[in-house]
């Protein structure tokens, strides 16, 4: 079992936050490519990557994309999502556009390391086409020139069905997107329990503390740095200080530790107060959400959490039918995740077509039905039949209505704030 014991930030690098490390970058990129099987398909420089292609001419983009093999890089740890891509998206891309889509599971830090290596080596044509990305990783990639764009104005589905003025589209964890990424899906933190074991889950931070005290050693959360752990303590902090106060963190672009601490200090005190009742008395925490999932499945802990609902895990038999999701009355943090195109993508035309397809009403509906992802589309802009299709989706026993989630949605802290919150947790919560 992977455990984390807090010492200093240097001892734990956030998998969400690429730290722009120098030295041996090209070697690391080559190693990552070897380990994870980067695509070696021939590029279509004469087609999609051609500088002569007018990307604003969608018919020309579709024609250029025919026959291309496009790579989609991103975190591969969600089996339900991987299955959806393999069984639905990949066949659709081939049948509708004659595009072969290859899914490449790779940690975002390794993806950014590879792009950094390409930059340093002046690699004009890489192996990564488009990327599942958001947050401070997007900020880092955009600031360092790892992304191609702006491109969203080329996408028919973006222009027709997305509310392009929505803050969740214009900003990604406080960073202006400026057309360098297109929305993929909306997610929101949910918690879940086995209702046979926990008939009445806590719905406020006060009840959560009482819940922990009543079940000593049976509750914990992943160490912040893991994105689930950071999001969960954000929910708790927001519940303590109030959503309006917490959301001040969402628009900070150059925060100091002192500024952030002044806002969240009551939340840090609350987190410290939980420690004596947590698993291992708050001296150590599970290293990541995968470890948490194993502990929950083994009955070592009685509550788990994640972005999105656990319905797919119930459907697959990984969790019992008695699994029930819940959120706090004070809300839970949510964000949009995005897709971006690598600056040296060899198949930009096919990447545009794939991104546009993922934003189609059909694919957004499937993600809602199969994965429980909230749609990035403005449903009021959809044809009436598509609006009705969204309304007719039957919820599973382990799903919450989208209206309930959206009515209790708290905006995440800005990308530059996240590492500060994680450092404050390291310094002032773990083991205290």
Per-domain residue ranges for the chain? 22-185+338-399, 187-334+410-428
Residues sharing a CB contact under 8 Å with residue 135, sequence separation 6 or more, in sequence order: 16, 172, 173, 227, 335, 412, 415, 418
Inform me whether the pLDDT recorded for 173 exceeds 90: no
Q: How far apart are the first and last CA of the chain?
A: 22
pLDDT attached to residue 124: 95
Structural contact between residues 204 and 328, judged by C-beta atoms closer than 8 angstroms? yes
Return the percentage of the chain with pLDDT > 90, whole number. Answer: 75
Cα-based angle 351, 372, 285 (whole degrees, multiple of 5):
95
pLDDT tens-digit map of 261-308? 999 999 999 999 999 999 999 999 999 999 999 999 999 999 999 998
Confidence band, pLDDT 50/70/90 cuts, at residue 363: very high
pLDDT tens figures, 106-129: 989 999 999 999 999 999 999 999
- At residue 376, does pLDDT exceed 50? yes
pLDDT band at residue 312 under the 50/70/90 scheme: confident
Q: Which has more confidence, 189 or 227?
A: 189
Q: How confident is the model at residue 370 (pLDDT cuts 50, 70, 90)?
A: confident
pLDDT confidence of residue 110: 95
pLDDT at 65: 98
Look at residue 174 in the predicted model and tell me its pLDDT. Answer: 84
pLDDT value, residue 50: 53
pLDDT tier for residue 77 given thresholds of 50, 70 and 90: confident
Q: What confidence category does residue 369 fall into, taking pLDDT thresholds of 50, 70 and 90? A: confident
Tell whether the model's pLDDT for residue 43 goes beyond 50.
no
Q: What is the pLDDT of residue 15?
A: 36
Mean pLDDT score of the chain, rounded to an integer?
88
Q: Does the structure show a pLDDT above 80 at 69?
A: yes
Mean pLDDT of 324-337: 95
Reading the block at residue 310, the tokens are: 């656990």
pLDDT at residue 338, rounded to an integer: 97
Q: What pLDDT sits at residue 71?
A: 98
> What is the structure's pLDDT at 51?
64
Q: What is the pLDDT of residue 271?
A: 98
pLDDT of residue 70: 98
The model's pTM is 0.77
Cβ proximity of 422 and 9 under 8 Å? yes
The highest-level CATH class for domain 187-334+410-428 is alpha beta
- Range name among 46-60, 324-338, 414-428 with the lowest pLDDT average: 46-60
CATH class of the region 22-185+338-399: alpha beta
Average pLDDT over residues 193-201: 97
Q: What confidence score (pLDDT) does residue 21 get?
A: 37
Tens digit of pLDDT for each residue in 15-24? Answer: 343 333 333 3
Percent of the chain surpassing pLDDT 70 = 88
pLDDT exceeds 70 at position 36: no
């Amino acid at each position: 079992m992977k455990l984390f014991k807090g010492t200093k930030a240097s001892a734990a690098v956030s998998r969400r936050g690429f730290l722009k490390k120098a030295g041996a970058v090209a070697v690391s990129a080559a190693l990552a490519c070897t380990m994870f099987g980067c695509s070696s398909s021939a590029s279509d420089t004469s087609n999609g990557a051609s500088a002569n292609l007018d990307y604003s001419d969608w018919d020309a983009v579709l024609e250029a994309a025919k026959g291309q093999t496009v790579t989609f890089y991103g975190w591969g740890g969600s089996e339900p999502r991987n299955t959806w891509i393999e069984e639905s998206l990949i066949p659709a891309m081939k049948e509708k556009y004659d595009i072969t889509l290859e899914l490449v599971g790779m940690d975002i830090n390794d993806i950014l390391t590879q792009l950094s290596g390409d930059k340093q080596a002046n690699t004009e044509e890489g192996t990564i086409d488009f990327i599942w990305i958001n947050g401070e990783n997007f900020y880092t990639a955009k600031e360092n020139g790892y992304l191609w764009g702006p491109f969203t104005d080329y996408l028919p589905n973006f222009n027709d069905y997305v509310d392009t003025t929505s803050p969740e589209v214009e900003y990604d964890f406080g960073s202006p997107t400026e057309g360098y990424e297109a929305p993929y899906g909306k997610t929101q933190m949910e918690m879940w329990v086995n209702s046979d074991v926990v008939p009445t889950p806590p719905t406020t931070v006060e009840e959560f503390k009482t819940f922990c005290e009543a079940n000593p050693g049976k509750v914990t959360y992943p160490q912040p740095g893991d994105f689930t752990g950071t999001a969960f303590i954000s929910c708790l902090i927001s519940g303590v200080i109030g959503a309006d106060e917490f959301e001040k963190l969402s628009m900070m672009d150059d925060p100091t530790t002192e500024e952030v601490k002044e806002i969240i200090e009551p939340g840090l005190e609350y987190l410290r107060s939980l420690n004596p009742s947590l698993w291992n008395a708050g001296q150590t925490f599970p290293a990541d959400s995968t470890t948490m999932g194993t502990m929950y499945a083994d009955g070592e802990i009685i509550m788990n959490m994640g972005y999105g609902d656990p319905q797919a895990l119930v459907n697959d038999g990984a969790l019992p039918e008695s699994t029930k999701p819940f959120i706090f009355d004070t809300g839970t943090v949510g964000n949009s995740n995005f897709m971006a195109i690598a600056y040296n993508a060899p198949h930009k035309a096919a990447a545009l077509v794939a991104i546009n397809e993922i934003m189609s009403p059909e694919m957004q509906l499937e993600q809602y039905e199969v994965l429980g992802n909230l749609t990035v589309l403005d449903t009021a802009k959809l044809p009436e039949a598509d609006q009705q299709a969204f309304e007719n989706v039957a919820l599973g026993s382990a799903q919450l209505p989208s209206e309930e989630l959206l009515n209790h949605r708290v905006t995440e802290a800005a990308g530059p704030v996240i590492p500060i919150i994680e450092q404050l947790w390291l310094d002032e919560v773990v083991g205290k």
